[in-house]
Chain A
Amino acid sequence: MSTLTKQTLSHLDWLEAEAIHILREVAGQCANPVLLFSGGKDSICLLRLAEKAFRPGRFPFPLMHIDTGHNYPEVVAFRDKRAAELGERLVVRSVEDSMARGTVVLKHPGESRNKHQSVTLLEAIEEFGFDACIGGARRDEEKARAKERIMSFRDEFGQWDPKNQRPELWNLYNARSHKGENIRAFPISNWTEMDVWQYIAREQLELPSIYFAHTRPVVIRQGAIVPVNVPLVSGELTNLPRPGEEIVERRVRFRTVGDISCTAPVDSDADTVEKIVVETATTTITERGATRLDDQTSEASMEQRKKEGYF
């Protein structure tokens, strides 16, 4: 064997190169892809990766956000600003429009709209004829995701069939689909929460302010910190406290950002990316365990939602 050790990439460079390769495969194989951009940290990384993959050209896909109408105004403002800075087209489709059409029916007005995003997403896929949706999901997030392909096939109903996935070998991704079917592509499948934060630090990526420690009114509900009296983009207050709940001011940050009704913050003093990296290295709770109120309902809830077309 040669005594000379071959130069290899650092782990972040390797993950970056893999993600760029996946993005270019989507662009090379699919006729009409779209990149799902929520303003959250994972999709913020996707945008930087897309810049590295396609600049000086335009992105070969538009950006799309499925808005539940219950998103933090800071995140919505960030979403619009980032898309404008990049000069890329942003499509927003709203769960409230699906509700108006009658395709989304809430069990009660307070029901979380998070899982209903699947309906609006499938409607948007049909409206635009998208054959691939690029998303920022990671395999370390959840056990159903650990078995997801990087190019994940969905049938005409947007369904994921975990028992019948396409084998995925080497880096020969198969993103082919027939009309009406589509591919969900996950370029940062192999990243962990820590990798994401390290990448944000290295690339000095800007984030919505609520990722950093701030003080806000919350209640403690079944052990979780639940933000209350959250103003929507319209100024209307949502997540009102329930009778008898005591409102306290707490210094918190969000580890994950999504629908207001189902994302909870964690106690934190970390007000810089560097401090968040340190906190991430020493935390004792998983990202979803700490912050997703919807995943705790059943052991298989993510798997169930994915079968129904969720990301």
Chain B
Amino acid sequence: MSAPEHLPEIDNGLLRFLTCGSVDDGKSTLIGRLLFDSKTILADTLNAIEKTSAKRGMSAVDLSLLTDGLQAEREQGITIDVAYRYFSTGTRKYIIADAPGHEQYTRNMVTAASTANLAIILVDARKGVLTQTRRHSYLASLVGIPHLLVAVNKMDLVDYEQAAFERIKADYLAFADKLGIKDVRFIPISALAGDMIVERGERLGWYDGPTLLEILEAVPAAHTEQAEDFRFPVQFVCRPQDSANPELHDYRGFMGRVESGEVAVGDAVTVLPSGAASRVKAIEIGGVRQERAIHEQSVTLLLEDEIDISRGDLIVKSAEAPEPVKQIDATVCWLSETPMSPARTYLVRHTTREVKAKVAKIAHRVDVNTLAHEEAGQLAMNDIARITLKLAQPIVADPYADNRATGAFIIIDESTNNTVGAGMIG
């Protein structure tokens, strides 16, 4: 087979983003519009939604039907879970996490936000900044999404007036300041008419910024532009002793993903929590050697010295080694219908390590609408709270604000094996 010639060029990486808003904000229409205008929607899918639109007595094709999900959701006309959508512009691939907006779905929004690097927050131009706008923005900042894009939608219903847009922008900035979000941008759009999404349209001439898609194309794909410390949680240890190849008898490969930073052959590394030190002898992918590995690459590390390492250990550069801790302060979002009880023992999954944990203290619960702090004896589904956890064994963590991968954890209920909570350390 010869080298591929006519492949579409995608060299601008992959961006994961989140859309938040309720059905009324036109979120589904916006996603439908992005998929439609980027030509991701194929004829048979379009036929199907044309038929459905007609069946429901609509005169035009309802693009929001493109994101229609499960049977149960169609029957109830609501979205109950995060859906993932894909499109590509030819230069960048996109993964959209489509999260339902209702208050009871805080857990869905947190789930969708956990892997996103940009959030589009939809505001209805007629209604302005609402309680739910504040809630979505708070959750986006809580989960550390680095870029927020406030899309003032339904500009067609306010005669494309600049004043409506500017008023909403000023309102939003007044409270966004309190959240400490660094990168907030604003854009006027009409998802229904397609203005300022992919095409500029002709009715928003007063707006001279980029279109929504241009913003998506230009935003950095990496979670952070800052240099980060090297963090490598060991997932699996490869010891092919039974191999027919005698050269592999002493092979010990430590398999994992570079969660942050980078590493090169020869680097001095420390294995935590044991503290054993060594140097990187080789870096491989599928047995093929390379000189270095960067953020997000899945590789195998070989070390100079024979050290006992297993799944759950963390390999770091010796100069950047954090201290193992047995107690953590964290912000948690409770995800389960069964309330969190301080009497119970849970399992905390942090990187590839699992440790038993108990709640030592619930400092306060946060009202996601007003950001007010409240006292709480237990936590119910969708509650956000500051808590302290005592751990049975040490973990090696960073503050979530510094490192998403080593600052995040989930809480598992061992009796059901369900994921019941999500936590951010710091």
Contacts and interface: CB of A to CB of B under 8 A. Distances in A.
A100 interface: no
A20 B258 CA distance: 12
Contacts of B14: 9, 11, 14-15
B162 interface: no
Given A14-B13, A146-B85, A8 B222 contact: yes
B114 A10 contact: no
A198 interface: yes
Given A28-B236, A54-B238, A177 B417 contact: yes
Given A163-B80, A165-B81, 13 more contacts: A5-B225, A6-B224, A57-B240, A57-B253, A58-B243, A60-B236, A143-B83, A167-B410, A174-B349, A176-B412, A194-B8, A274-B4, A299-B71
Given A143-B68, A170-B404, A6 B295 contact: yes
A297 interface: no
B61 interface: no
Interface residues of B, number: 84
Given A58-B240, A286-B45, A172 B408 contact: yes
B194 interface: no
Contacts of A300: 70-71
B7 A274 contact: yes
B225 A170 contact: no
Given A9-B296, A190-B84, A162 B70 contact: yes
A143 B243 contact: no
Interface string A126-137: 000000000000
Interface in B286-326: 286-287, 294-298, 311
A147 to B, nearest CB: 5
B295 to A, nearest CB: 7
Contact of B81 (A60, A147, A169): A147
A170 B417 contact: no
Interface string B228-261: 0000000110111011010010010101110000
Contacts, number: 216
Contact of B7 (A27, A28, A165, A277): A277
Interface of B: 1-2, 4-8, 10-11, 13-14, 42-45, 48, 68-72, 74, 80-86, 88, 92-93, 95, 107-108, 110-111, 114-115, 220-222, 224-227, 235-236, 238-240, 242-243, 245, 248, 251, 253, 255-257, 285-287, 294-298, 311, 335, 349-352, 404-405, 408-410, 412, 417-419, 422
A63 interface: no
Contacts of B287: 55-56
Q: Which of A9, A24, A166, A169 has the most CB of B within 10 A?
A: A169
Given A17-B257, A277-B7, A169 B419 contact: yes
Given A201-B4, A274-B4, A28 B286 contact: no
